[in-house]
């Protein structure tokens, strides 16, 4: 009988967050004061719930920490939000969510990173006509064909016609025109070039965003969030010539190449 050595221990990416120190509230308050922000250790959840309904984001059941900042005509709230309705462990129900208000935001669109494993496996898995029921085979071929046409085909592709971006993100918007206005090329380029993964929902007057990963609510992580959302906001509100047709974004072409 073979003798195997003990395997190395596994790990959960959501458990990578460092344990929060007992004086975290004090350090957050000091950091916020040094930046000119406001910190609240016991915020109310009602205002955040009033943002509902959301497209992809959950409705917070409670918030435990809050940082408020102002940048010109934009007001930003970064909160430690909980989705207790999910019925999971405490570490799996806590998220860092950002809410931003600005009169410079005018259009509606919701973006969520795609979990591409299933789609990739679907494309890689061969069909065996002898073992695959005919109805299932037709369904799988139809889904595969639609995925390829949406991503690499000619003509109309996806929700906003951006094959590269829509291969990475799921989009919902009232119309293609409003989606292109809410998600200009500069914003799509920023999200893809930074490897962003999360949820971003824009609406007239505001946006809400969260990033996938360990929900770390400390000064360094919040500085990074402010930096990221600054780029998102500037890209979303950048002036563009509406008379220009949206650039083509077929494979190896379009707005993400040659820039």
pLDDT tens-digit map of 150-190: 544 444 457 898 888 888 899 999 999 999 999 999 999 99
Residue 247, domain member (yes or no): no
- Specify the pLDDT at position 131: 47
Question: Cα(85)–Cα(207) distance, rounded to whole angstroms?
Answer: 23
Mean pLDDT of 83-94: 74
Residue 153, domain member (yes or no): no
- The β-bridge partners of 38 are 68
Highest mean pLDDT range out of 83-87, 138-142, 218-222? 218-222
Residue 177, domain member (yes or no): yes
- Number of folded domains in the chain? 1
Residue 151, domain member (yes or no): no
- Specify the pLDDT at position 132: 46
- Specify the pLDDT at position 183: 96
Question: Cα(69)–Cα(35) distance, rounded to whole angstroms?
Answer: 9
Q: How many residues belong to the chain?
A: 259
- The β-bridge partners of 80 are 96
For the cut 90, the answer to whether the pLDDT of residue 209 exceeds it is yes
Q: Provide the phi-psi class of 87: left if phi over 0, else alpha when psi is between -120 and 50, else beta.
A: left
CB atoms within 10 A of CB 167: 19
- Specify the pLDDT at position 44: 92
For the cut 50, the answer to whether the pLDDT of residue 11 exceeds it is yes
- Token pair for 72: 């010109």
- Specify the pLDDT at position 205: 95
- Specify the pLDDT at position 91: 66
DSSP string, the chain: ----PPPPP---GGG-SPPPPTTHHHHHHHHHHHHT-EEESS--SHHHHTTPPPSSSPPPSEEEEEEEEEETTEEEEEEEEE-GGG---GGGSEEEEEEEE-TT----EEEEE--THHHHHHHHSPP-TTTS-HHHHHHHHHHHHHHHHHHH-SSS-TTTS-HHHHHHEEEE-S-HHHHHHHS-HHHHHHHHHTT--EEEEEETTEEEEEESS----SHHHHHHHHHHHHHHHHHHT----TTSPPPP--TT-STTS--
- The β-bridge partners of 141 are none
Alpha-carbon dihedral sign for residues 32, 59, 64, 19: negative
> Mean pLDDT lowest for which of 34-48, 104-118, 145-159, 241-255?
241-255
Residue 67, domain member (yes or no): yes
Residue 245, domain member (yes or no): no
Question: Cα(52)–Cα(229) distance, rounded to whole angstroms?
Answer: 21
> Mean pLDDT lowest for which of 104-113, 137-146, 176-185?
137-146
User: Using 50, 70 and 90 to split pLDDT, how confident is the model at 45?
Assistant: very high
User: Using 50, 70 and 90 to split pLDDT, how confident is the model at 142?
Assistant: low
- Token pair for 182: 């809410």
- Specify the pLDDT at position 164: 85
**Domain span at 82:** 25-114+170-236
Residue 158, domain member (yes or no): no
Residue 258, domain member (yes or no): no
User: Using 50, 70 and 90 to split pLDDT, how confident is the model at 14?
Assistant: low
Task: Please state whether the predicted TM-score (pTM) of the whole model is above 0.75.
Answer: no
């Amino acid at each position: 009988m073979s003798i195997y050595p003990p395997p190395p221990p596994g790990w959960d990416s959501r458990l990578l967050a460092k344990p929060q120190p007992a004086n975290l509230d004090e350090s957050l308050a000091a950091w916020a004061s040094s930046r000119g922000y406001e910190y609240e250790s016991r915020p109310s959840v009602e205002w955040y719930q009033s943002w509902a309904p959301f497209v992809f984001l959950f409705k917070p059941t409670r918030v435990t920490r809050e940082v408020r900042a102002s940048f010109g005509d934009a007001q930003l709230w970064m909160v430690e939000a909980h989705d207790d309705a999910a019925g999971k462990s405490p570490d799996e129900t806590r998220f860092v969510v950002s809410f931003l208000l600005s009169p410079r935001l005018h259009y509606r669109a919701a973006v969520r990173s795609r979990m591409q494993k299933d789609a990739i496996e679907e494309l890689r898995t061969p069909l065996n006509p002898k073992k695959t029921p005919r109805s299932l085979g037709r369904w799988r071929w139809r889904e595969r064909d639609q995925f390829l046409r949406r991503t690499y085909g000619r003509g109309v592709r996806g929700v906003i016609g951006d094959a590269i971006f829509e291969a990475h993100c799921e989009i919902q918007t009232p119309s293609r025109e409003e989606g292109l206005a809410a998600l200009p090329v500069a914003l799509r380029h920023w999200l893809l070039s930074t490897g962003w993964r999360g949820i971003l929902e824009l609406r007239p007057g505001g946006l809400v965003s969260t990033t996938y990963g360990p929900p770390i609510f400390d000064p360094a992580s919040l500085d990074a969030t402010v930096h990221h959302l600054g780029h998102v906001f500037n890209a979303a509100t950048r002036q563009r010539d509406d008379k220009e047709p949206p650039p083509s974004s077929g494979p190896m072409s379009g707005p993400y190449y040659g820039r």
